[in-house]
């Protein structure tokens, strides 16, 4: 299959691994962050980390949209679902994300009408099929999924659908990266940039990282060869003393982004002054809300939501995992009290969560045998 098979070529992977071993400076420990949770899963699914030399370390970033949703926002969604006459729609991986007193799946078991959708357009269809009910779409995700929400809200207005609203929890990628770079407890040498977000925003928004912080960025695809090539490109920049944004994922990512998608987002959304991230606290200008022009489609304005901030469980170290400070297996509840079946934190729930990647692909211990 074109654009898949050639990026999973084992021989090419071995060649790249050999070039990486030659490119890294002897005696230097290089720590790179893969921002996107999709990269994390590819790294451990295909054993990319086993092909890297010991002095090249990959750590995980805050690029999993489910993982960063704070407990208070989950509690708000549960409260909305329990309103009489409401149908709450959401993506499947939000169902088991723990709130302070259960999850959406628990609320569904208690009788709330909660339905899984694969796109916001599915939610709009449910609204049109149930005109006597109020249908709320629980919107999450970075700039990757925000355009589909924006286009759905534009369609809802154009079609005059009166019983459809959005509970908006979309976030943006640049503010948390800036917060990480200014964090005193994390030292990074470069970034494997988020390919999915970049398909919408392009590679240009990441130029602040080399300009302001002196760290190279390579926007990467998601196949194993993509990731290995991106690591090699970063190492070559470090060796040559250069620092820039490079686009490894040119087959998908335009430098300036998807102009039509950005235009739709600009029509429908506005920045929130502050938005809370699970484990990371409040980050300025990092969340999106429904703009005043589309206020009639904002579930937070049509319905009463608690809006209470809820502290993360003390046992959960999702925040440290999302910041790349610790690896999932270093969390004291990983694989014991916290499993995909009974998660304590979001990183174990999401299909892009780092803890789920470690658990699913057997990365349970710091020291493991490479066959």
Residue 369 forms part of a structural domain: no
Residue 365 forms part of a structural domain: no
Domain check: are 329 and 279 in the same one? no
Q: Is the pLDDT of residue 103 over 70?
A: yes
Domain check: are 157 and 261 in the same one? yes
Residue 154 forms part of a structural domain: yes
Residue 249 and residue 247: Cα distance in Å, rounded?
Answer: 5
Domain check: are 86 and 211 in the same one? yes
Residue 371 forms part of a structural domain: no
Nearest to 350 by CA among 8, 5, 76, 67: 67
Residue 280: which pLDDT band, with cuts at 50, 70 and 90?
confident
- The pLDDT value given to residue 296: 97
Q: Determine the average pLDDT of the residues in 273-282.
A: 89
Residue 185: which pLDDT band, with cuts at 50, 70 and 90?
confident
- The pLDDT value given to residue 275: 94
Domain check: are 83 and 99 in the same one? yes
- The pLDDT value given to residue 363: 58
**pLDDT tens digit sequence for 140-178:** 999 999 999 999 999 999 999 999 999 999 999 999 999
**pLDDT tens digit sequence for 203-219:** 999 999 999 999 999 99
Residue 368: which pLDDT band, with cuts at 50, 70 and 90?
very low
Q: Which CATH number characterizes residue 13's domain? A: 3.40.50.11740
Residue 189: which pLDDT band, with cuts at 50, 70 and 90?
very high
Q: Determine the average pLDDT of the residues in 76-90.
A: 97
Residue 112 and residue 244: Cα distance in Å, rounded?
Answer: 50
Tokens linked to 357 = 């990647």
Q: Is the pLDDT of residue 367 over 70?
A: no
Domain check: are 185 and 148 in the same one? yes
Domain check: are 339 and 294 in the same one? no
Q: Determine the average pLDDT of the residues in 20-44.
A: 94
- The pLDDT value given to residue 310: 86
Phi-psi region of 287 (alpha: psi -120 to 50; beta: other; left: phi over 0): beta
Containing structural domain, residue 328:
318-360
Residue 366 forms part of a structural domain: no
Segment among 82-91, 139-148, 268-277, 361-370 with least mean pLDDT? 361-370
Quick one: what percent of the chain has pLDDT higher than 70? 97
């Amino acid at each position: 299959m074109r654009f898949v098979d050639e990026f999973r070529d084992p021989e090419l992977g071995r060649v790249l691994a050999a070039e990486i071993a030659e490119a890294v400076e002897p005696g230097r420990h290089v720590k790179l962050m893969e921002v996107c949770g999709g990269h994390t899963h590819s790294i451990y699914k295909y054993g990319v980390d086993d092909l890297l030399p010991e002095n090249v370390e990959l750590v995980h970033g805050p690029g999993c949209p489910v993982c960063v949703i704070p407990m208070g926002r989950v509690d708000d969604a549960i409260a909305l679902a329990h309103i009489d006459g409401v149908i709450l729609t959401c993506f499947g991986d939000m169902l088991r994300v723990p709130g302070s007193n259960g999850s959406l799946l628990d609320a569904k078991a208690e009788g709330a009408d909660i339905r899984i959708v694969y796109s916001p357009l599915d939610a709009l269809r449910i609204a049109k099929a149930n005109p006597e009910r109020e249908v709320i779409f629980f919107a999450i995700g970075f700039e990757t999924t925000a355009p589909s929400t924006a286009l759905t809200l534009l369609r809802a207005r154009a079609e005059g659908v009166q019983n459809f609203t959005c509970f908006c929890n979309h976030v943006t990628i640049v503010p948390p990266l800036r917060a990480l770079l200014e964090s005193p407890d994390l030292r990074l040498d470069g970034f494997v940039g988020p390919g999915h977000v970049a398909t919408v925003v392009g590679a240009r928004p990441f130029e602040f990282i080399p300009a302001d912080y002196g760290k190279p960025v390579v926007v990467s695809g998601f196949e194993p060869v993509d990731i290995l090539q991106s690591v090699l490109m970063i190492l070559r920049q470090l060796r040559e003393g250069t620092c820039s944004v490079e686009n490894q994922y040119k087959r998908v990512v335009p430098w300036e982004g998807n102009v039509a998608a950005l235009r739709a987002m600009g029509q429908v959304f506005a920045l929130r002054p502050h938005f809370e991230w699970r484990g990371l606290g409040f980050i300025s200008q990092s969340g999106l809300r429904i703009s005043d022009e589309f206020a009639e489609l904002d579930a937070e304005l049509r319905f009463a939501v608690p809006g209470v901030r809820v502290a993360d469980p003390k046992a959960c170290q999702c925040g440290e995992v999302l910041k790349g400070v610790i690896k999932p297996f270093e969390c004291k509840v990983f694989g014991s009290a916290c499993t995909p079946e009974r998660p304590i934190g979001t990183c174990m729930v999401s299909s892009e969560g780092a803890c789920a990647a470690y658990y699913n692909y057997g990365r349970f211990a710091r020291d493991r045998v490479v066959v």
